[in-house]
Every structure is written in C-alpha cells, then in structure tokens.
Amino acid sequence: MSEYVIEKSCDVVVCGSGPAGLGAAVSARKKGASVMLLEAAGLPGGIIPAVPWMPVNRLLLKDNARTYAHDTLVRHIRKYGDFAWMPGPTDKINGDGLSVHPEYAEIAIYDMLDEAGIDYVLLSPVRDVIKENGRVAGVVVREKRGLAAYHAKVVVDATGDGDVAAAAGCEFAEGREEDGIHMPITLGFSLCGIDKERFYPWWNAEHEGQYKKMADEAEERGYYIAAWIWFPHGTLPGIIGCNHGAWRKQNLKSSGLDSADLTAARRNGLFVARDIVRIFQENKVPGAENCSIDRVGALLGVRDTRRIVGEYTLSFEDTQKDQQFPDTIARKWGYIDANQVYIGPMDSGFSYPYRSLVPKKVDGLLVAGRCASASFMGHTAGKSMGNMMELGVAAGTAAALCAKSGVVPRALDVSKLRDVLIHEMGVKL
C-alpha cells in the first residue's frame, strides 16, 4: 500500500498561489503544460485577497496590462463591476493597480484558474520534496487525511517562504545581512461606519498633526499604535481598508517562519485595529465617530523570510542603475519600500535576470516571488504584487519549456525563453 493518500503526476507543479504562483501557473498552462497549483492556506491569491481593499500594486503599467497573466486577472476582476474593484492609488510606491474587494478577488482567481484548465488544491502545505537522480521531481504535501505526492517534470516554488527550496536543501538567507532584522509582519483590516466625505478630508489634513497627537497620548495609556497607517478606499459604502506598518513595538527580529512570532503578530495586529477604533470614537474624529472593525485580513502580511541563494543574487546596486542583464526575463517597477527600515528610489523598470530564479546546485526547481535570489535590499526594491506576478510569469514559462524539452532549468536556452516571454506572454523586456 502506498504511503500517500493521493499520488498524481503533471508537467509542472506550482507551490504557492500568491501573485508569483498565479503568474507561474497561468503562464505554464498557456504554454501547454499540465499544471497543479498547491496552496498551503485556505484561500488562493496570497496577499491579494488577504488584506481588505489592499491595492494590487503594479498590476498595470500606466493603465495598460503588463503580461498575459496580469491581463487575465484584471479582466476577471473588472467583469464584476464597481462593487468588486476601483482604481488604485497612483503614487510612486503604490501606483498602477486596482483596489479589490477581497471576496471578489478570490472569485476572480478561481475564474482565472478554471478558465485556464489548471488543477488546484488549497490547504496543502509542503512537507517534503521528491527527488530522482538528485533532482527535484515533485513535492509531498500534508493534507488532512495524510500525505499526498505530486510528481512533476519541473517544480516552481512560489511559496514566499521558499518552503520547497528549503526542503530540497537549497542554501538561503534570512533578514538584513548586517543585523538579521526583518520588515514587520502586518495584520490588515477594514473599518465600517465611516462617513467618507467627512473622514478623508480630516485625515488628509490632520493625520500628521491631530491624529499623531491622539495616537501618542493613547500609547501612553497602553493602546497599540501602528508605526504608520493608511486607509485605502473600499468599494462599498461606509467601508475603508487599512494597511499599516505593524505595532510600533513589534520586534523587527520577529520571523515569519516562527509560529510564536506569527501568533504574536496576529494578536497585536488585532489590538491595533481595536485601538484605532477606540481613538476615533473617543476623539470624535469627523466621519469616524461611530466606526467599528469590519473585518481583519485572512492572512498575515509577511514581507520577507527566506531568500534562496541562486545563480545570481540581485543587489541594491542593481536596482539603482540601468543594469541590462543578458538573461533579463522581467522588470520591476516602482520604489524601494523596506517597511520601517528604508524607503527610497530605484531605477523603476530595472532588469531582472533569469539566474535569480535558478537555485544553486539543486536541479528541477525554479523559485519566484519574494523567495527568489536577492539581497535584503535587492528584494525590497519593487516588491509589489504586480512585480511578483511578472517573476512568476517568467518562472512558469521557463518551467513549461523545460518540461517540454526535457532539460533542467539551469540548462534552458534563455534566448528562447525571452522570445516566448515577449511574443507569447506579452512581457515588455
């Protein structure tokens, strides 16, 4: 009897269904590969539906679709109308995206996967990898009934945390090189009972004055105050989203790989939500006098954990100049946003090399998204969701080409990959 409750095979297995995983799965399928998408959490999309009305940043470029995968997701979101989405902000950090109702975002993701003919299973965290002749040939996940095995010609690790690559024995780095700190872990939320016509004028004029004074005084009384706070518009009357920089006193050495740290981040994030409501009510903030917590995010916003060491490690210096790699397979747009650590410009649209998706020494595997090969500051440059999706598009396309030709990712003809990305996937290289 097999030790696995399920055992299946396909061309490409993609682990993680955040923006990078979605880009990888849709692109691999478009190129003709059979695809299984596995997700550890109970909903697809990663941070897209996890934070209420979080703008899906860099999903568009100057209101134009970036790739086939981006265009497909945008099409499915927009078809649900005004309750489902609204234009996102246009500032240098958060620009070129859509603010999306979390449930409609999840529905649109299912529509996209179903239309493409992609198999997908939620609640399937990676437990181990399957190796054949020293190369990764599939993954083992933990389901409620037991272990399930998914065999593949190529595996794409888009877990964010690099779970597949770590299980395969890949070398990785964590935290900022000089001191090991991480960007903070955030629990987003939304508020209801908001009169937006009165609240936003007050907030825009007073959040650095009156609100800061209110928050500082409340903190002295033991309230949980976020390092910074921002309220994106919600698509429904009386509802606004809230993204923030986490509790001011969060330990920046807290790790998204540590269950105790994740537990504390969720608890403290909920207290931040509770106390912003108390501050607004107690101070009779215009338009928010009768507000309440609407909901909190289904997932925590973890900004960095493992960064797999690849054939090339993208550096901060690479983000600051017009670096043109011979193996450019994506571009990252926007700004450097190392939350609570560093905010600064980058060469928006800088080149991203294929070698940063290929782990050293381990074959049969590609990494995409925030676990790809970069320094701490290299990762924070353009870490927006739309950029992560473009890395996934490159990884998924490469995986499909490798599966069809029978080569490992490090042996792939990158000139052929670039040609397919430009002419079939719509990537602007």
Q: Dump the DSSP string for 197-216.
A: HHHHHHHHHHTTTHHHHHHH
The full DSSP string for 321-377 is TT---TTEEEEE-S-EEETTTEEE---TTEEEEGGGGSBSS--SEEE-GGGSSB-HH
Q: Which of 296, 329, 364 is the last residue of a domain?
A: 296
What's the pTM value of the predicted model, to 2 decimals? 0.97
The pLDDT tens digits for 183-230 are 999 999 999 999 999 999 999 999 899 999 999 999 999 999 999 999
The pLDDT tens digits for 300-351 are 999 999 999 999 999 999 999 877 899 999 999 999 999 889 999 999 999 9
1 pLDDT more than 60:
no
The pLDDT tens digits for 351-401 are 999 999 999 999 999 999 999 999 999 999 999 999 999 999 999 999 999
**Residue 91, domain member (yes or no):** yes
Q: Are residues 55 and 90 in the same domain?
A: yes
Residue 136 contacts residue 409 (beta carbons within 8 Å): no
Q: Are residues 163 and 203 in the same domain?
A: no
**Residue 429, domain member (yes or no):** no
Q: Are residues 213 and 167 in the same domain?
A: no
**Residue 1, domain member (yes or no):** no
Q: Are residues 257 and 328 in the same domain?
A: no
Q: Are residues 44 and 145 in the same domain?
A: yes
Residue 181 contacts residue 253 (beta carbons within 8 Å): yes
Q: Between vectors from CA 254 to CA 251 and to CA 258, what angle results, nearest 5°?
A: 150
**Residue 84, domain member (yes or no):** yes
**Residue 184, domain member (yes or no):** no
Q: Are residues 243 and 271 in the same domain?
A: yes
**Residue 428, domain member (yes or no):** no
Using only C-alpha atoms, what is the Rg of the chain? 21
Q: What integer best gives the mean pLDDT of the chain? A: 96
**DSSP state, residue 232:** P
Q: Between vectors from CA 68 to CA 62 and to CA 73, what angle results, nearest 5°?
A: 80
Q: Are residues 116 and 54 in the same domain?
A: yes
**Residue 118, domain member (yes or no):** yes
Q: Are residues 288 and 361 in the same domain?
A: no
CATH number of the domain that residue 100 is part of: 3.50.50.60
Q: Are residues 234 and 358 in the same domain?
A: no
Q: Are residues 20 and 135 in the same domain?
A: yes
The pLDDT tens digits for 75-107 are 999 999 999 999 998 888 888 999 999 999 999
> For residue 84, what are its two tokens?
């489902």
Which phi and psi (to 5°) does residue 392 adopt?
-65, -40
246 pLDDT more than 90:
yes
Q: Are residues 165 and 83 in the same domain?
A: yes
CA terminus-to-terminus distance, the chain: 50
Q: Are residues 204 and 175 in the same domain?
A: no
Q: Which domain holds residue 226?
A: 189-296
- Total structural domains within the chain: 2
Q: Which of 296, 315, 347 is the last residue of a domain?
A: 296
**Residue 73, domain member (yes or no):** yes
Q: Which of 262, 296, 330 is the last residue of a domain?
A: 296
